[in-house]
Amino acid sequence: MEKINSLQNAHVKAWKKLQTKKGRKQQGQYLLDGWHLVNEAVKAHVAIQTLLITSKQLATEPDLTHFPAVIEISEEVAKHISATVTPQGVFAVATLPAVVEDLGQLDLTRPWLLLDNVQDPGNIGTMVRTADAAGFAGVAFGTGTVDIHQPKVERSMQGSQFHLQLISTDLTALVAQLQAQGAPVYGSELNPQAAQYLDVDAPAAFGLIMGNEGNGMSSELLAQTDQNLYIPIKGQAESLNVAVAAGILMFGLCR
């Protein structure tokens, strides 16, 4: 088994670059950090190229024959390539999924969550996990939304990223595709025409757009929606966290 201890090693430098969107795109790879994500990826038959593991973790997992390649790394290397303060010491280098060019290839028979310029990785992870739990077909990351494979986003999705389709796309095109298939698209912008979400009888397939944490949906997408929804607030809070609102709407529309 190959062992790497030096931070100056060419492989280590390449793995470190996988923390950036540019590095991931250039190498066509991304990094999964921790046993939970690695095991979920294995169960989902993700194209894993190499397992990186420290001697401490190697002692607990002696049989790694199901991985195409295994490299033992030092604790120093593990800390260097991880985006966490205290990494577990196990990583998988995986192949980036192919970019979806034809939106007609998507499963549009079930709901889709569309994220418009959502910035917080924790919010994104919560929404992806909730979409998974609610039986959505996929989540679309629109312009300005944090990259799907950003390390904090990967961790916060907790494996749900392998249970449904995740795509980066022009949301205006996806909205048009959904509507062409007869699926209504709901916005989450409060306006005079907005309907209380419990009054809406959503079909099996629909789109739900959640906007930026501070500014909401873009005007372009707002103009495309079939109906905007609101959640009645009974207390004195001015608004709900975007992930909380998304969860209420997703399960409310799928009831």
DSSP-derived letter for residue 90 is: E
Q: By CB neighbour count within 10 A (0-12 exposed, 13-18 middle, 19+ buried), where does 205 fall?
A: middle
Rg over CA atoms, the chain: 20
Distance of alpha carbon 230 from the chain centroid: 24
Residue-range domain boundaries for the chain: 2-95, 103-253
DSSP-derived letter for residue 199 is: G
**pLDDT tens across the length of the chain (255 residues):** 899 999 999 999 999 999 999 999 999 999 999 999 999 999 999 999 999 999 999 998 878 988 999 999 999 999 999 999 999 999 999 999 998 888 988 999 999 999 999 999 999 999 999 999 999 999 999 999 999 999 999 999 999 999 999 999 999 999 999 999 999 999 998 787 899 999 999 999 999 999 998 888 999 999 999 999 999 989 988 889 999 999 999 999 998
**Domain 103-253 sits in CATH 3.40.1280.10:** yes
Locate tokens 């950036």: which residue?
20
Q: What class does CATH assign to 2-95?
A: alpha beta
Q: What are phi and psi of 219, to 5 degrees?
A: -65, -30
- The token duo for 166 is 């995740």
* Dist. CA 231–CA 249, nearest whole Å: 8
Neighbours of 226 (CB within 10 A): 14
* Dist. CA 140–CA 243, nearest whole Å: 15
Spatial contact of 231 and 198, defined as CB atoms under 8 Å apart: no
* Dist. CA 117–CA 242, nearest whole Å: 12
* Dist. CA 232–CA 81, nearest whole Å: 45
Give residues with Cβ within 8 angstroms of 84, minimum separation 6. Answer: 33, 34, 151, 155
Q: What are phi and psi of 242, to 5 degrees?
A: -60, -35
